[in-house]
Amino acid sequence: MDKLIIEGGRPLKGEVKISGSKNATLPVLAATLLTDETCVLRNVPKLLDTNTMVRLLKALGKDVDWDKDKLIIMSNGKPSPVADYKLVSTMRGSICVLGPLLTKLGEAKVSLPGGCVIGVRPVDLHVKGVEALGAKVEVEAGYIIAKARRLKGARVYLGGASGPSVLGTANIMMAAALAEGETIIECAACEPEVEELANFLNEMGARIRGQGSPRIIIHGVKKLHGADYRMSADRIEAGTFILLSAMAKNSNIVVRDCDYHQLTALDDVLKKVGATVVSQKDVVRVKAPKVLKPVSVTTYPYPGFPTDIQAQYMALMSLADGVSVVRDTVFPDRFMHIAELNRMGARIRREGGSAIVEGVGELCGAPVVASDLRASAALVMAGLVARGKTEIRRVYHLDRGYENIDHKLVMLGASIKREKE
C-alpha cells in the first residue's frame, strides 16, 4: 500500500487539467453491455475504479483494450450474466451492471455490493425498478438474481428515504432502453452523470428524453449499436481543486477543462465564504480571501450541494473565522474525515447527521489514515496548507477516484511524495 508525504504551506501556482468523470464513466462502461458492437470511449480516467469496471466487463464477456487514451470495448462472444462478489465488493458502482445484463441477456446475477464507510448503501430502489419492469427478483446468498424474458416499460417512482438514487436511475434507464414500450422514471436523479449516461445511450440508438430532470422518459428499442463517445470532465475533481484554491493562501490555481455550471451550489457558497471566483468557458480561477467566513452547508441531491465535496468543504471550514455546521442529508454517516482532520488540529465535533466545525488559525501536519475516496481528498487538502509534514496512509482510496493527483499537485508546486507503506 502507498502513503503520501506532504510538506505543507507551499504556495500553489499553475494550471491543473481535470480528468474525465469517474462517476459518468462507470455507468457508461456498464452501458456497453447493451450492445454486441464495438464502443470507443475517450477521455476515460485511468483510476482503480475504472480498472475494476474493466475487469468486470471482461468477466461479463467483453474484450477491453486501451489504445493510447481511448478505451475499445468489444464482445468476445461469451456473454455471462454473473457479476461476482470478488469484483463487486471492491466497488459499489459495479451494481450498475444489473440493468444492462438483465435487459440484454434476460437474466442477471449480481453480488450485493455491501456497505462502505460512508453508509449502508442499500439497493432496494434498484430492485424496485427492475421489478416494476417485470423482472422476477430473488436475493440469495448475497446475490441479486433477476430474470425476465423481455422487460416491459412502466412508470416507476424511484425516490427513496434520502431522495433519488443516481445509480438506481442509471440501472433503470439502461434496463428500459431495450424494454418493450415506454418507461417513465419519476423522482429520477438529476446529476450530470445521469444526463451523460442518457446522452451516451442515445448515441447508441436509445430513445431517452428528460435526462437531467426528475422525470425521464425512455422508449424501448429492439437493438442498440456501438458508439464513439468522449467522457466529460469530472465535476467532483473540479470541485475539489476549486476548494483547494480557496484554501491555499498566496496561491493562484487555474482549473481547466471543467464545466463550472455543474457546480452552482459550490459557487454560491464560495462567494459567501469570501472567495473571488472568475470562470470563463471551461476555466475557473479562485482567489482565497484573507479571512474565510464560516458558512454552514447542507448536502442535497443535484443541483444541491454535492455530498461528494462535503469532506473537502469541511477541510476548508476548519480554517474559517468562526463556527459553521456541515450536514449531509444524502449520506448522514459520511464523517470518517472528522477524526483525522482533528488530528491535524481542526476542532470538529459530530452531532448526529451534522458536524460542528469551529475554525482554527492553522492546521498542523500529522500522520493520518485515509478511509474513503473523498475523505482522502480532504486530508490531502489539509496537508497542503498545514504547517509541517503530513503522512497519509492507505492512499489507494484516493487512487480510486483521482487520476495522477500527486503529479498534478507537484506541477502546482506542492511538496508531495508517494512512498510504499
| Smallest distance, ligand EPZ to C-beta of residue 168, A | 5
C-alpha–C-alpha distance, residues 291 and 319, integer Å? 9
Helix pair 310-317, 264-273: axis angle to 10 deg: 0
Only one of the segments 101-109, 160-168, 361-369, 407-415 lies at the binding site for ligand EPZ (rule: CB under 6 A); that segment is 160-168
Cell 427513496 sits at which residue?
A: 160
Q: Is 116 a catalytic residue?
A: yes
Only one of the segments 157-165, 179-187, 212-220, 266-274 lies at the binding site for ligand EPZ (rule: CB under 6 A); that segment is 157-165
For every residue of 225-283, DSSP letters joined together read: ---EEE--B-HHHHHHHHHHHHHSTT-EEEEES--GGGGHHHHHHHHHHT-EEEEETTE
Angle at 89 between CA 85 and CA 92, to 5 degrees: 125
From candidates 67, 68, 161, 290, binder to ligand EPZ by CB under 6 A: 161
C-alpha–C-alpha distance, residues 292 and 286, integer Å? 13
Does residue number 235 form part of the binding site for ligand EPZ (CB under 6 A)?
Answer: no
From candidates 61, 93, 226, 359, binder to ligand EPZ by CB under 6 A: 93
In the complex with ligand EPZ, the residue whose CB is nearer, 88 or 366, is: 88
C-alpha cell at 363: 492546521
Number of residues that bind ligand EPZ (CB under 6 A): 27
Does residue number 377 form part of the binding site for ligand EPZ (CB under 6 A)?
Answer: no
Instruction: Please tell me which residue in 116, 187, 190, 364 is annotated as part of the active site.
Output: 116
Torsional sign, CA 362, 336, 408, 278: negative
Does residue number 171 form part of the binding site for ligand EPZ (CB under 6 A)?
Answer: no
Only one of the segments 75-83, 161-169, 212-220, 391-399 lies at the binding site for ligand EPZ (rule: CB under 6 A); that segment is 161-169
The one-character DSSP state at 1 is -
Which among 194, 136, 124 is positioned nearest to 166, based on CA atoms? 194
In the complex with ligand EPZ, the residue whose CB is nearer, 35 or 171, is: 171
Does residue number 135 form part of the binding site for ligand EPZ (CB under 6 A)?
Answer: no
From candidates 38, 90, 162, 252, binder to ligand EPZ by CB under 6 A: 162
Count of H-run helices and E-run strands, the chain: 14, 24
In the complex with ligand EPZ, the residue whose CB is nearer, 229 or 331, is: 331
| β-pairing verdict for 228-230 and 39-42 | parallel
From candidates 19, 21, 23, 75, binder to ligand EPZ by CB under 6 A: 23
Element of type H or E holding 407: helix 405-411
From candidates 156, 204, 224, 330, binder to ligand EPZ by CB under 6 A: 330
Does residue number 56 form part of the binding site for ligand EPZ (CB under 6 A)?
Answer: no
Residues of span 280-309 touching ligand EPZ by CB under 6 A? 307-308
In the complex with ligand EPZ, the residue whose CB is nearer, 3 or 397, is: 397
Element of type H or E holding 146: strand 143-147
| Smallest distance, ligand EPZ to C-beta of residue 250, A | 30
| Smallest distance, ligand EPZ to C-beta of residue 323, A | 26
| Smallest distance, ligand EPZ to C-beta of residue 86, A | 18
C-alpha–C-alpha distance, residues 30 and 91, integer Å? 13
Cα Dmax for the chain: 63
Q: What x-and-dash track marks residues 96-125 binding ligand EPZ by CB under 6 A? A: -----------------------x-xxxxx
| Smallest distance, ligand EPZ to C-beta of residue 401, A | 5
C-alpha–C-alpha distance, residues 296 and 313, integer Å? 10
In the complex with ligand EPZ, the residue whose CB is nearer, 162 or 296, is: 162
In the complex with ligand EPZ, the residue whose CB is nearer, 65 or 186, is: 186
C-alpha cell at 71: 478505451
From candidates 337, 343, 374, 397, binder to ligand EPZ by CB under 6 A: 374
C-alpha–C-alpha distance, residues 151 and 176, integer Å? 7
In the complex with ligand EPZ, the residue whose CB is nearer, 240 or 318, is: 240
Only one of the segments 135-143, 159-167, 284-292, 359-367 lies at the binding site for ligand EPZ (rule: CB under 6 A); that segment is 159-167
Torsional sign, CA 415, 289, 318, 396: negative
The one-character DSSP state at 184 is E
C-alpha–C-alpha distance, residues 107 and 85, integer Å? 17
In the complex with ligand EPZ, the residue whose CB is nearer, 122 or 289, is: 122
The one-character DSSP state at 289 is P
Question: What amino acid is encoded at 405 in this protein?
Answer: I
Binding site for ligand EPZ (CB under 6 A): 23, 26, 92-93, 119, 121-126, 160-162, 165-168, 189, 193, 307-308, 330-331, 373-374, 401
Catalytic center residues: 116
